[in-house]
Amino acid sequence: MSSSRLPQALEKLVSLLARLPGIGERSATRLAFYMLSQPESYARELSGALVELVERVHFCVDCHMVAEGERCTICEDPSRERTTLCVVEGIADLLAFERSGAYHGLYHVLHGVLAPLKGVGPDELRLANLRGRIEALGTSEVIVATSSDVEGEATALYLLRHLAPTGVRVSRIATGVPMGGELEYVDATTLSRALRGRTPLE
Amino acid sequence: MSSSRLPQALEKLVSLLARLPGIGERSATRLAFYMLSQPESYARELSGALVELVERVHFCVDCHMVAEGERCTICEDPSRERTTLCVVEGIADLLAFERSGAYHGLYHVLHGVLAPLKGVGPDELRLANLRGRIEALGTSEVIVATSSDVEGEATALYLLRHLAPTGVRVSRIATGVPMGGELEYVDATTLSRALRGRTPLE
């Protein structure tokens, strides 16, 4: 019913927006109406930004972070420690570390995690150049910062084996009680990991 | 922190997406990354659809529904009853009526409701041609289908006064207990309205 009532150009926009994660047909329709209610310049600017995106934004050939040139600003930043490599699942994770200000080394973005049931094997991750990078950089430590869920853990274990030939030290970020977390509400696995990973109080 | 790390073209896209209703900076970033992870054709198609939107989709000069030509498909549909006019706040409401299949007359889309505190007065609504339409169409009944919240009710009362000079019959959709609604959870105002609006059981 609704579809026959809307102009084709609007239908097309709705169906493209509905492909975005977390946006269903109804939210997509609402977004399209909103765009229509804005001054024409909004949709034109957004349209232009999308073309700019595909034409100017690529992935860094080294760490696979987004980049405007061949390499990203982090890989090209001379002030970063070049002997530590932090492996993350996605760009959002990298940005979370950057926001924390707690890490000063380089990154390697996998763009996914191992998920055999979804058909994601090692070949689907951006792993091809990882060992080569480690050798070229003389990396002393690889910090695996994948999520602490089943897929993230499996990926971490895979990386440990995958990197063994390079002889590099591989570490894993700590699992434990989050800051401000009330013990009462923390799940059993996290608690037992926090206990095992206890550190001397100084 | 995060902003200095992302290419400008990506930042620009994120800031435009973050203007959409219900989408904050973080969701906007996630959407932009998703667009980047898709085949290039996706962003290009979306970009094209946005240009098509502003170039081909307009509002019907009569009822202010979206239209590709001067008039919308409903106003141009000869099978619609031309003597009833249903006034709705927005296009989404019109589509809800169309989906219900319960209404066969014409519409008038206000593109808003009276909200003095937000600076929305009668001049901000698409009211200018309503009385003229009623006269031209020889409308016998105007059904006011604004929401049953304070602003929708105020708009309905305003319309009643605004349309008085035309002598047209003005009705309001019923307020009552929604189908499947459990009386226990229905608010007092709705209940008292449902009671006042009771109809003979036949």
pLDDT per position as a tens digit, A116-142: 899 999 999 999 999 999 999 999 999
User: Confidence band (pLDDT; 50, 70, 90) for A4?
Assistant: low
Cβ contact, residue pair A54, B37, below 8 Å: no
Pick among A4, A6, A56 to test the B interface (most B CBs inside 10 A): A6
Say if residue A74's pLDDT is above 80: yes
Q: Do B4 and A50 touch (CB under 8 A)?
A: no
Strands annotated E in B9-147: 58-59, 66-67, 84-88, 106-109, 141-144
pLDDT score, position B78: 96
3-state secondary structure of A161: helix
Average pLDDT rounded to a whole number, residues A33-40: 92
Nearest to B31 by CA among B155, A175, B44, B20: B20
The pLDDT value given to residue B2 = 43
pLDDT, tens digit (0-9, with 9 covering 90-100), for B72-122: 999 999 999 999 999 999 998 999 899 888 999 999 999 999 998 999 999
The pLDDT score that the predictor gives to residue B112 is: 93
Across the interface, do B1 and A98 touch by the CB < 8 Å criterion? yes
Nearest-by-CA chain B residue for A95: B2
Q: How many CB pairs under 8 A join A and B?
A: 162
Domains of chain B: 3-56 (1.10.8.420), 79-196 (3.40.1360.10)
Contact residues, chain B, for A109 at CB < 8 Å: none
Q: Which of B4, B8, B10 to mutate to test the interface with A (most CBs of A within 10 A)?
A: B10
> Token match 């992870």: residue?
B37
Q: How far is it, in rounded angstroms, from Cα B53 to Cα A43?
A: 8
* Min Cα separation B144/chain A (Å): 21
Give first-to-last CA distance, chain B, whole Å.
69
In one-letter notation, the amino acid at residue A31 is: L
pLDDT at B13: 96
What is the spatial distance between Cα A18 and Cα A156, in angstroms, rounded to a whole number? Answer: 33
Distance from CA of A56 to the nearest CA of B (A): 7
Helix (H) or strand (E) holding A178: none
Q: Decide: residue B6, CB within 10 A, 0-12 exposed, 13-18 middle, 19+ buried.
A: buried
CB contact under 8 Å between B95 and A37, yes or no, is: no
A180 vs A174, higher pLDDT:
A174
The alpha-carbon gap from B16 to the nearest alpha carbon of chain A, in Å, equals 6
B72 contact residues in A (CB cutoff 8 A): 5
- Supply the pLDDT for residue B186: 84
pLDDT tens, residue by residue, B5-48? 789 999 999 999 999 999 999 899 999 999 998 999 999 999 99
Mean of all residue pLDDT scores within chain A: 92
What ipTM was reported for this prediction?
0.80
DSSP 8-class letter at B106: E
pLDDT at residue B1 above 60? no
Q: What is the mean pLDDT of residues B147-159?
A: 93
| Per-residue confidence (pLDDT) for residue B3, from 0 to 100 | 47
Q: What is the pLDDT of residues A77-122, one digit of tens each?
A: 999 999 999 999 999 899 989 988 899 999 999 999 999 899 999 9
pLDDT at A2: 43
Radius of gyration, alpha carbons of chain A:
22
Amino acid identity for residue B57 in this structure? V
B33 CB neighbours in chain A (<8 A) are 90-92
Partners of residue B79 in chain A, C-beta under 8 Å: none
Taking the complete model, does pTM exceed 0.80, yes or no?
no
Please state the rounded mean pLDDT for residues B145-170.
94
